Structure 1
Amino acid sequence: MGGAMAVRVAAAGHTLTVFNRTRAAAEAVATRCPVDVTVAGTAREAAAAADVVVVSLADDAAARATYGGSDGLVAGLAAGAVVADTSTVAPETTRALEADVRSAGGLLADTPVSGSVSSVEGGTVLVMAGGSAEAVERAAPALESFAQRIIHLGPLGSGATMKLAVNAMVFGLNQTLAEALVLAEKSGVARELAYEVIANSAVAAPFVHYKRAAFEHPESAPVAFALDLVAKDLDLATALATQVGAPVPQVELNRRIVGDAIAAGRGAEDLSALAEHLRG
């Protein structure tokens, strides 16, 4: 996801420096960009070159590690710079990181996105933004490189909160889609025809369309969203629900089913592999 964002930012004409904790990954992204970009050796070096720092990381631990330390993002942040964090993390993690960013003279906005890698590549994702109006406004030119719309939801943490709510729905749809498809198949309907019906039915959300190839041809599906990360997001959503007193029985059920698939050795597979798991 971060690599696709970088390509779009470069294509929009912004001067870009990229960093990944695995340098080879950053170099691979640089080769995909339509213009020359700089590959930084540390997060500190990357941040020092930027007015806007766009962050895309896997989880809370990766965020804390990347922001902190002598070679971390905060150590290199220029006064007045804006950090737009698109990672899916707990709202309290975002708020904790903001204190360090503010101490360096910067601004932080939590700006997670709804959509797939292909949505980023097409510039059609939705950004769910939390933070001050100034932070969101100043991050907007970079975010608009790959986003169709930015919705400012409120104070810092609002974006992270809404991303967990949206992902809870996405994972529910993924589970329902897998079950419906397997039910139709086991009843004698060809997989492709069953999916054709689903894709033209009342439940044909964008997710149903962009996951079609993965569900129809699981043997060749790239891993766009690993089940291990699905479990992480469901755990975050459950923890948030506990904090605010919101009942989420479907989230809890989906987490158990995802856990079963992970226990069966599918943690590194795409979330669409739940259909394969159900096929047995």
Structure 2
Amino acid sequence: MSEKLRVGFIGAGLMGHGMAKNLVERGFPLTVMGNRNRQPIDHLVSLGATEAKTARAVAEASDIVFLCLPNSAVVDKVVLGPDGIAEGAHDGLIVADSTTADPTETKRIGAALAEKGVAMLDTPLTMTPKEAEAGTLNVLVGGLAEVLERARPAIACFGRNIFHVGPLGAAHSLKLINNFMSMSMVALFSEAVVTARKAGVSVDGLHELISAGALNNPLFQKVMDWPLKGDASGLQFAIENALKDVSYYNRVAADAGATAPIGATVQQIYALANAQGEGKTHVPKLMDVLGRLNGL
């Protein structure tokens, strides 16, 4: 396509702002839907984006609409609810959902859009808001290859690596498996730190040992910045989001008929922390919750 795609963006939050910023800075006509947090929207408008009041208006003005929303329930409302994307549907429109979402819901929403001539991709992300701002995210894509090729020039604005992993829903499933693994490791590291403290073992010594061996990895280093330096900013991911993602992962496992005993346990760990009012807390501080349970 010789002319640049007209791009819509709904959900310009912690991750979405960087994605949308890269789109408008690379010359794509951008329409954004406003939200309660005005700062990212006002910044995008200052760069040349146009603000729309409804998802329907965003769809009407766009060839592709990216979503980066909290969960599948919000996606359903934005796409199929009143004044939603479906009401602004037109031939050739693509909806690309970068939400970490339930793949069963993704496939249901995609089927509803297909009846209106709209193609859907699931385009979840790995990495952090830092990479979103830099335009160097990893993007997993589920959906038809020809739809991805139409969308690729826009996705490439914020995605350093683009992986086509299968049909619609496959990317959301893979993202959930990825997040299950990472959040399980955060829980494991947190329990290890608490056990070390309870047993009178040096946390510095634990860090030194793991850093010198095969268990060392960047996620471990980010988590350990909290007990060693009092810095949880390296992993800005809320406990309530970890609970959501691991819960979705367990649905994927159940739908596939897979046994997932570790997933069930990890879900309960984050549910416990969330029930104690720690939902907005970044996940490295899970060790504080476990520490309190252990009288530390």
Q: Which region of structure 1 is more displaced relative to structure 2, 195-204 or 113-122?
A: 195-204
Q: Shift in Å at residue 70 of structure 1? A: 3.5
**Mapped contact 1:222–1:270 kept (Cα < 8 A):** no
Compared CA separation, residues 153 and 269, structure 1 to 2 (3 A): same
Q: Secondary structure at the match of 1:151?
A: strand
Q: Secondary structure at the match of 1:135?
A: helix
TM-score, length-normalised on structure 1? 0.88
The count of aligned residue pairs is 276
Report the Cα distance in structure 1 between the residues aligned to 2:215 and 2:134, rounded to whole angstroms: 23
**Mapped contact 2:142–2:166 kept (Cα < 8 A):** yes
Compared CA separation, residues 110 and 258, structure 1 to 2 (3 A): same
AA of the residue aligned to 2:202: V
Compared CA separation, residues 92 and 47, structure 1 to 2 (3 A): same
Report the Cα distance in structure 1 between the residues aligned to 2:24 and 2:222, rounded to whole angstroms: 24
**Mapped contact 1:88–1:112 kept (Cα < 8 A):** yes
Indicate which of 123, 127, 131 corresponds to 2:135: 123
Report the Cα distance in structure 2 between the residues aligned to 1:161 and 1:30, rounded to whole angstroms: 30
Residue 106 of structure 2 aligns with which residue? 94
Residue 250 of structure 2 aligns with which residue? 238
Compared CA separation, residues 99 and 6, structure 1 to 2 (3 A): same
What aligned pairs does 1:101-140 form with structure 2 within 5 A after superposition?
A: 101-140=113-152
RMSD: 2.5
Residue 39 of structure 2 aligns with which residue? 28
Percent identical among aligned pairs is 30
Report the Cα distance in structure 2 between the residues aligned to 1:198 and 1:122, rounded to whole angstroms: 30
Q: Does 1:161 align with 2:139?
A: no
Q: Which region of structure 1 is more displaced relative to structure 2, 138-147 or 80-89?
A: 138-147
What aligned pairs does 1:1-280 form with structure 2 within 5 A after superposition?
A: 1-20=15-34, 23-25=35-37, 27-33=38-44, 35-185=47-197, 187=200, 189=202, 195=207, 198=210, 201-210=213-222, 213=225, 216=228, 221=233, 224-280=236-292
Report the Cα distance in structure 2 between the residues aligned to 1:24 and 1:249, rounded to whole angstroms: 39
Q: Which region of structure 1 is more displaced relative to structure 2, 10-19 or 254-263?
A: 10-19
Compared CA separation, residues 232 and 155, structure 1 to 2 (3 A): same
Q: Shift in Å at residue 96 of structure 1? A: 0.9
Q: Secondary structure at the match of 2:70?
A: coil
Q: Shift in Å at residue 78 of structure 1? A: 3.0
Compared CA separation, residues 126 and 197, structure 1 to 2 (3 A): farther
Q: Shift in Å at residue 8 of structure 1? A: 2.3
Q: Secondary structure at the match of 1:8?
A: helix
Report the Cα distance in structure 2 between the residues aligned to 1:6 and 1:216, rounded to whole angstroms: 35
* CA distances 1:77-115 after superposition (whole Å, capped 9, x unpaired): 332021111111211111111122222322100111122
Report the Cα distance in structure 2 between the residues aligned to 1:240 and 1:95, rounded to whole angstroms: 13
* CA distances 1:176-233 after superposition (whole Å, capped 9, x unpaired): 2222333445535355x75566556433434345556556555774983221222121
**Mapped contact 2:189–2:223 kept (Cα < 8 A):** no
Compared CA separation, residues 235 and 84, structure 1 to 2 (3 A): same
Larger Rg: 2
Report the Cα distance in structure 2 between the residues aligned to 1:4 and 1:37, rounded to whole angstroms: 13
Report the Cα distance in structure 2 between the residues aligned to 1:224 and 1:106, rounded to whole angstroms: 34
The runs of 5 or more residues in structure 2 that have no matched partner are: 1-14
Q: Secondary structure at the match of 1:18?
A: strand
Q: Shift in Å at residue 119 of structure 1? A: 2.5
Q: Secondary structure at the match of 1:54?
A: strand
Compared CA separation, residues 236 and 64, structure 1 to 2 (3 A): same
* CA distances 1:119-158 after superposition (whole Å, capped 9, x unpaired): 2223332211110001212222222122121111111111
Q: Which region of structure 1 is more displaced relative to structure 2, 259-268 or 160-169?
A: 259-268
Report the Cα distance in structure 2 between the residues aligned to 1:196 and 1:106, rounded to whole angstroms: 53
Report the Cα distance in structure 1 between the residues aligned to 2:229 and 2:113, rounded to whole angstroms: 44
